[in-house]
């Protein structure tokens, strides 16, 4: 399980989502109460799906479905985060645009989506490998 690269991608995406959730900068840049609930819900959905997908390694078709669900959660997370930033005028980001904590909070959904994409591609590659091995028998 741990030697597969998609497990590393899923673990890293869970780690980035966990850091995104606990960073105080994430909550400082959001001015709307509806965005707080949306961010928590979307982050929790994506985090749980990413961690659960690690343990579905014996059922790769189910693993791909869970990864896609995590990707949908990350897209919703990005929509809530960037929509809230747009509606608030991004006052906090204008004053300190190069502050690392703000860059991490704003860039985390994109990084997580790329990691989930790489994990999904790795699982699909494993499925193709198993099918080609079954064909040779």
* Residue 7 banded pLDDT, cuts 50, 70, 90: very high
Which of 51, 56, 50 is CA-nearest to residue 69?
50
What is the pTM for the complete model shown? 0.85
pLDDT score, position 1: 43
123-136 pLDDT tens trace: 999 888 888 877 66
d(CA 53, CA 6): 10
Give backbone dihedrals phi and psi of 83, rounded to 5 degrees, phi first: -65, -40
Break the chain down into helix, strand, coil percent, rounded to 5.
Answer: 85, 0, 15
Higher pLDDT, 106 or 103: 106
pLDDT (tens digit, 9 = 90+) per residue, 12-50?
999 999 988 888 777 776 766 777 888 889 999 999 999
Confidence of residue 137 (pLDDT cuts 50, 70, 90): low
Q: What is the DSSP letter of 1?
A: -
């Amino acid at each position: 399980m741990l030697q597969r690269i998609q497990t590393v991608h899923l673990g890293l995406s869970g780690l980035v989502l966990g850091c995104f959730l606990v960073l105080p900068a994430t909550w400082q840049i959001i001015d709307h109460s509806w965005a707080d609930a949306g961010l928590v819900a979307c982050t929790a959905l994506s985090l749980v799906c990413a961690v659960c997908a690690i343990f579905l390694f014996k059922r790769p078709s189910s693993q791909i479905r869970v990864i896609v669900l995590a990707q949908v959660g990350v897209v919703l997370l990005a929509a809530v985060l960037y929509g809230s930033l747009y509606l608030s005028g991004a006052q906090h980001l204008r004053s300190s645009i190069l502050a690392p904590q703000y860059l991490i909070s704003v860039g985390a959904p994109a990084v997580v989506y790329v990691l989930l994409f790489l994990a999904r591609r790795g699982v699909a590659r494993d499925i193709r490998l198993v099918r080609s091995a079954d064909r040779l028998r």
